[in-house]
Amino acid sequence: MKTTNNVFRLFLKGKAGVVGLVILSAFILVAVFAPLISPYPPYERVGTPFEQPSIKHLLGTNDIGQDILSEIIYGTRISLLIGILSAGVSLVIGTIVGMTAGYLGGKVDAVLMRAVDLNLVIPMLPLMILLAAFLGPSFWNIVLVIGILSWASPARVIRSQVLTIKNKGYVEAVEVLGAKPFYTIVKHILPPTMSIIISQLILMSSRAILTEASLSFLGLGDPTQKSWGIILYYAQARSAFLTDAWLWWILPPGILITILVISFAYIGNTLEEIVNPRLRRNVGK
């Protein structure tokens, strides 16, 4: 509890982290209360195609007469869900690999780290495009594609933390008493590593949201879901760039993606500075 309070106190001193948390909280509230905030159902035709912004439709309508503001509000849900779930999948894999490699060491560490190196040097976006195209467009396919191809970076960070913790006196004492590796990892190595894991979850979420938008923009997202990337895809497919419609159909979701990714980055970087003593001097600036 004392450690948690210290982390919270240091986090509040980081201005960037607080700003990011406020912005992220606003997006979460929009996602949760989308049915109450949205002026129209996002899948219904409520106007004529390509209406310009007006009091009735603040961001105009798309090519089939759906309210774009309503689409964007509901798209907050899907973009956040895909980002957090994808980051969760990659972090589960990365944590298992990092913990195993760091604790067991030797040949196991060498093999797993070579797999990490291989994952890091392969261009991820082209591989994600190929895998997403092979599996087909759906919500869960996008989550899995992003998750299973993004685990290497957190695995390397977690392994470094485990290498430090496993040399602590209390961990060595538990090993001498005959504790099994699984027990030692779960009871004595995982808890002090949680702060690193949480910071990696935040950072990976921002990358996953940006990746989902990229894949959806290329037509590989779930067309039955209203995500910001899908909104951009249909705007591009319906030639919004060639008309004034790009001002209210393309610009708003693009700006929102940027703001949300920046908010995750602010929070993640602040947490990383807190858990890494070498970076802690930057907190509060």
Domains present along the chain, CATH in parentheses = 10-41+61-282 (1.10.3720.10)
CA–CA separation, 209 vs 33, rounded Å?
20
Residue 216 DSSP one-character state? H
pTM for the model stands at 0.82
Q: What's the 3-state SS for 231-250?
A: HHHHHHHCCHHHCCCHHHHC
- The rounded average pLDDT for each run of 10 residues, N- to C-terminus, in the chain (285 residues) is 51 73 92 92 89 90 90 92 91 92 87 88 82 84 89 89 83 78 82 84 88 87 86 87 84 92 86 63 48
CA–CA separation, 215 vs 219, rounded Å?
7
Residue 278: both structure tokens together = 């070498």
Q: What is the pLDDT of residue 279?
A: 47
Q: Tell the residue number behind the tokens 């603040």, with chain if given.
A: 58
